[in-house]
Structure 1
Amino acid sequence: MCSYKLTYFNMRGRGELARYIFAYAGIPYEDIRIEWKDWKSIKPSIPFGKLPVMEVDGLTINQSLSIARYLARIAGLTGKSRLEEVTADAIVDTLNDFTLLIPWNEQDKALKKNMIDDLFDNQAPVLLQILEDGLKDKQWFVGDSVTWADLYWHICFTTFNVLREGFADLYPRLKSLKDRVGNIPEIAEWIKKRPSTEF
Structure 2
Amino acid sequence: MAPKYKLTYFKASVGRGELVRLIFAAAGVEFEDVRLEREEWRLLKETSPMGQLPMLEVGGQVICQSGAIFRYAAKETGLSGAAGWEEAQVDMFVSGMEDLTMKMYGVYFERDEAKKEEKKTALASFVPNFLGNYEKLCGSDGHLVGTSLTYADLAFFNGIDDILKKRPDALEKYPKLTKVVEDVKANKGVATYIAERPETLL
* TM-score (structure 1 length as normaliser): 0.91
Alpha-carbon distance in structure 2 between the residues aligned to 1:94 and 1:150: 12
CA contact (8 A) 1:116 1:163 kept: no
Alpha-carbon distance in structure 1 between the residues aligned to 2:137 and 2:201: 30
Query: Which of residues 20, 34, 37 in structure 1 aligns to 2:36?
Result: 34
Corresponding residue of 2:182: 179
Q: Does 1:117 align with 2:118?
A: no
CA contact (8 A) 2:26 2:189 kept: yes
Secondary structure, aligned partner of 1:47:
coil
Structure 1: gaps of 5 or more residues = none
Q: Does 1:97 align with 2:94?
A: no
CA contact (8 A) 2:139 2:145 kept: no
Q: Does 1:63 align with 2:104?
A: no
Corresponding residue of 1:8: 9
Aligned residues: 198
Query: Which of residues 36, 39, 45 in structure 2 aligns to 1:43?
Result: 45
CA contact (8 A) 2:8 2:36 kept: yes
- 185-194 or 128-137: which moved more? 128-137
Structure 2: gaps of 5 or more residues = none
Alpha-carbon distance in structure 2 between the residues aligned to 1:169 and 1:110: 31
Report the AA paired with residue 39 of structure 1.
W
- 154-163 or 23-32: which moved more? 154-163
- Give the Å deviation of 1:95: 0.9
Corresponding residue of 1:83: 85
Alpha-carbon distance in structure 2 between the residues aligned to 1:56 and 1:174: 33
Report the AA paired with residue 2 of structure 1.
P
- 21-30 or 100-109: which moved more? 100-109
Change (3 A) 1:158 1:54: same
Alpha-carbon distance in structure 2 between the residues aligned to 1:113 and 1:27: 41
- Give the Å deviation of 1:40: 1.9
Alpha-carbon distance in structure 2 between the residues aligned to 1:105 and 1:33: 21
Alpha-carbon distance in structure 1 between the residues aligned to 2:87 and 2:190: 21
- 39-48 or 142-151: which moved more? 39-48
- 131-140 or 14-23: which moved more? 131-140
CA offset digits 1:99-122 (Å, max 9, x no partner)? 1122132123453244123212x1
Change (3 A) 1:105 1:117: same
Change (3 A) 1:144 1:125: same
